[in-house]
Structure 1
Amino acid sequence: MADTDDDRVYYVLSDLHIGGDEQLEEAPFLDELLAFLERLETTDENAELVINGDAFGLWEITQVDGIEKFDLLEETYPRLFEQLRATGEQIPITLLPGNHDHELAAYDAYVERFAAYNVDLVQEQSTSRQLGDRTIYFEHGNQQDPNNRIEDWGSPHASPLGYYYNTLVTSRAGQVSDRGRYNWLKDVQAVTPTEWMPIWLASKYFYREMNPLLRYALVPFLLLFNISALLAILAGLDLAGIWSQPVDDATAFLGQFGIAGTAVWYLLAANIAVAGLLLLVGVPVYFLRRDITRTIDRFGILETDLTVDPAKPYDTAARDVFEECPETAIFCYGHTHRPENRRVDGRLLVNSGTWLKRLHRRDGVTGLLPPVFYPSYQLCAVRIATTDTDIVVEHQAIEKPSPSGEELTLTERLLTLGRTPNPELPEQTILEDAVAKKKEKPTDH
């Protein structure tokens, strides 16, 4: 544990995921990160920077092994390492491994290499710092995730489920991303939860990779599907001789427009035929899918094997730490990429978010169109400090323009009009009377 320093201010970052094969080398937030480090270099505060795991994407670097990955990082990001050196000359910088860069804990040589850049690499699962008479507990958070828990911490052979996913899927995506019509596959790291991966791939195929002529030919059919399904039912009633008035009225109305009305009639007829076929197939498939889903839910398969609860495991872990170390006021973690700041048993559970792109799912407003994954950035640094009696925690926003204008097609932008996400960082939180008042020095009489 670090020495007590009542006036120290802590800045916390996590989940930068810098590095990876080929297209994953791009760090679109590098300028913002350098500017933040430059600000800390010139600060008048008694500050310390804690980088709380997954600073680097070592799992996604598959071309070299071991300490050679550091050589590759130095070569690829010289400006970053020089700025770490400069900032580290002015304030302490502490680096904890996460799961994506767990190898930092597996090779002692990393400690010396980072020390050359004034970065103190702590090869442990967690660390703590004093804040007045209270304590901040830091861990990356992957140990609470069964898919990414490192059972043999510090072993170079540690390989949880997430290791295979990232070395086989994520790194491969970085290698082939530039082969697409648009370089989008490198954003695979931003897809959370992982269960959305097939939906995201289908969405990007439809809006980015599908032949434009085919996509624009399909759009009217898909947009009109809901209407066509209703018309298919009405056409069926007409053929059965049960109710013919709607079809007769529509025929008479369109007949007033000559060739244009005939064209619309054929378009509707084609949609009705497709919708009718889909309805015939879709109704039994719907009931079968619903029954299978209920069975899966009953056994809890999806909850235990595929989905990681972004809140419950960390609530439990925080309560355990608070019980074991009653002086702990803050449990600070990352990993889930979801910035948060909330109270648990009178203390604070703080997540420092991610510097990766975030993708917000917006399901289609009509028809069978795939959902749109709207991109944004939510860069932030957590600042933790004390007043005379209180602890103040604030997520400081680091502005970066939304990439939506460059990355979304016209169709995607039209489908998300009025539904663009506006992610907000947690509000500043104050733990009142969390720090004992500093005792005044007695005066001589």
Structure 2
Amino acid sequence: MVAADDAVIYVISDLHIGGDEQLEEAESLEELLGFLKRLATTDENAELIINGDAFGLWEITSVEGPEKFDYLLRRYPELFEQLRATGENIQITLVPGNHDHELAAYDEYIERFAKYNVTLVQDESITRSVGTRSVHFEHGHQQDPNNRIEDWGNPYATPLGYFYNTHVTSQAGQLSERGRYNWLKDVQAVTPTERMPVWLLSKYFYREMNPLLRYALVPFLLLFNISAVLAVVTGLQLADIWSFPVMWTVAFLDQFGRVGTALWFVLAVNVAVAGLLVLVGIPLYFIRRDVRITIQRFGIFETALTVDTETPYEEAAREVFADRPETAIFCYGHTHRPSVREIDEGLLVNTGTWLKRLHRRDGIIGILPPVFYPSYQLSAVRIAAESNGVAVEYETIEKPNPIRDELTLTERLVTLGREPNPELPDRAVVEDET
């Protein structure tokens, strides 16, 4: 462990390196190697902590147990050689997460990682001193009921998340190349899991659907909102209550001749369908509302996959701060959301992920499926002592966002002006008590 007086700790997590077939591609491997090369020449009294999910062992289904180390070594030899080189200059500590919980289950991993200058700690959490304070590190999955390992270190521990990743995620890696575009491998970037059906619908519509069928549906979907309004006013006209909107629309479109006639025909079809959907939707709305109220009354509204990404970690941090007042920072990963929040007298820090992130954006008009914008927020959290306390800052590792390569022109047009602009948290300091 590095000395407390001038300690500098770099923290990364959720690299998710490894998996079946298409999941083998570590998209940020080049950037990771560059980061490790920089640490190999630093003159700081530094330690690198890889805080869980360095490897996607759950997604490797072709081999079992410690044989997965051989798989990783064969697939990513340059990574292990760079770990060896960097580990000659600074201490590297590896903490298991849920995806690589097997690292805590076999002692053989300790010896094998040690050959590459990586210290594998098989505990659920670790503590490091920085200045006069300390920092608590854990991956974070123990606060997630779907991924909590009840019997830590048991190689046969299988929480709900294990089955999801060994069956759904790994299967996606095996099938991804069969699509029109190789997009299914990004399943790991879909968080929370509840978004999976919507993401699949989005990718099917914009990527897999027959182009002729998609472009035939686009006018209807774009005009649905307008058509729904026209369906209502058409009903008012038929009831001799208000005929002006329909008459004005007909007169306006007549000015454009055949083009106006064609547009009126499209609108008429849309109005008929939209009117039918509105009529059906009214009773369905009340039925759905009553079902939700009934489920809430029985206290089972939360689904098995629903995860609160904030509250459990805030509560865990408060417990640590209360039990160990010298603790300034509770540092975790798991949720893939880089953030810094003040909790009581300390900081709750999430290190984010080196995977791609997907940001949902709804269309500007109509009822087209939402678009999921891809981005990279690669970063390393730097924790160091200062004269007045402990500072936390995110160091950005540059990697271009693949928007133009992975989003169609249609996706970009229907979300024009709604592009995400994710930013990493600002620098924060936990001041010492005076």
Q: In the alignment, which residue of structure 2 is the partner of 1:172?
A: 171
Separation in structure 2 between the aligned mates of residue 173 and residue 355 of structure 1, nearest angstrom? 19
Q: In the alignment, which residue of structure 2 is the partner of 1:18?
A: 17
Q: Compute the displacement of 1:94 (Å).
A: 0.2
What are structure 2's unaligned runs of at least 5 residues? none
Separation in structure 2 between the aligned mates of residue 354 and residue 320 of structure 1, nearest angstrom? 25
Q: In the alignment, which residue of structure 2 is the partner of 1:344?
A: 343
Single out whichever of 199-208 and 275-284 deviates more from structure 2: 275-284
Separation in structure 2 between the aligned mates of residue 295 and residue 410 of structure 1, nearest angstrom? 43
Q: Compute the displacement of 1:3 (Å).
A: 6.5
Q: Does 1:405 align with 2:404?
A: yes
Q: Does 1:220 align with 2:219?
A: yes
Separation in structure 2 between the aligned mates of residue 48 and residue 325 of structure 1, nearest angstrom? 22
Separation in structure 1 between the aligned mates of residue 101 and residue 171 of structure 2, nearest angstrom? 20
Single out whichever of 11-20 and 383-392 deviates more from structure 2: 383-392
Aligned length: 434
Matching residue's letter, 2:134: T
Separation in structure 2 between the aligned mates of residue 359 and residue 87 of structure 1, nearest angstrom? 31
Matches within 5 A, 1:82-161: 82-161=81-160
Separation in structure 1 between the aligned mates of residue 388 and residue 274 of structure 2, nearest angstrom? 67
Matching residue's letter, 2:320: V
Q: Does 1:426 align with 2:425?
A: yes
Separation in structure 2 between the aligned mates of residue 51 and residue 336 of structure 1, nearest angstrom? 15
Matches within 5 A, 1:256-335: 256-303=255-302, 305-335=304-334
Single out whichever of 84-93 and 226-235 deviates more from structure 2: 226-235
Q: In the alignment, which residue of structure 2 is the partner of 1:237?
A: 236
Q: In the alignment, which residue of structure 2 is the partner of 1:383?
A: 382
Q: What does the per-residue CA deviation read over 1:273-322, in whole Å, with 9 as the maximum and x for residues that have no partner?
A: 11111112111112222232333344443446332111111111111112
Separation in structure 2 between the aligned mates of residue 300 and residue 32 of structure 1, nearest angstrom? 46
Q: In the alignment, which residue of structure 2 is the partner of 1:43?
A: 42
Separation in structure 2 between the aligned mates of residue 377 and residue 297 of structure 1, nearest angstrom? 38
SS in structure 2 of the partner of residue 385 of structure 1: strand
Separation in structure 2 between the aligned mates of residue 52 and residue 254 of structure 1, nearest angstrom? 63
Contact 2:19 2:59 in 1 (8 A): yes
Single out whichever of 329-338 and 155-164 deviates more from structure 2: 329-338
SS in structure 2 of the partner of residue 281 of structure 1: helix
SS in structure 2 of the partner of residue 5 of structure 1: coil
Matching residue's letter, 1:423: P
Change (3 A) 1:304 1:234: closer
Q: Compute the displacement of 1:401 (Å).
A: 0.6
Separation in structure 2 between the aligned mates of residue 67 and residue 167 of structure 1, nearest angstrom? 17
Separation in structure 2 between the aligned mates of residue 301 and residue 4 of structure 1, nearest angstrom? 50
Q: What does the per-residue CA deviation read over 1:219-244, in whole Å, with 9 as the maximum and x for residues that have no partner?
A: 11011011111111222233333333
Q: In the alignment, which residue of structure 2 is the partner of 1:354?
A: 353
SS in structure 2 of the partner of residue 305 of structure 1: coil
Separation in structure 1 between the aligned mates of residue 109 and residue 31 of structure 2, nearest angstrom? 25
Change (3 A) 1:328 1:27: same
Separation in structure 1 between the aligned mates of residue 355 and residue 252 of structure 2, nearest angstrom? 54
> TM-score scaled to structure 2, two decimals?
0.97
Contact 2:346 2:430 in 1 (8 A): yes
Contact 2:147 2:161 in 1 (8 A): yes
Single out whichever of 135-144 and 226-235 deviates more from structure 2: 226-235
Contact 2:127 2:134 in 1 (8 A): yes
Single out whichever of 92-101 and 227-236 deviates more from structure 2: 227-236
> TM-score scaled to structure 1, two decimals?
0.94
Q: Compute the displacement of 1:124 (Å).
A: 0.8
Q: Alpha carbon RMSD of aligned pairs, Å?
A: 1.5
Q: Does 1:251 align with 2:250?
A: yes
SS in structure 1 of the partner of residue 137 of structure 2: strand
Matching residue's letter, 2:424: L
Q: Does 1:66 align with 2:71?
A: no
Q: What does the per-residue CA deviation read over 1:135-175, in whole Å, with 9 as the maximum and x for residues that have no partner?
A: 11111111111100001100110000000000010000000
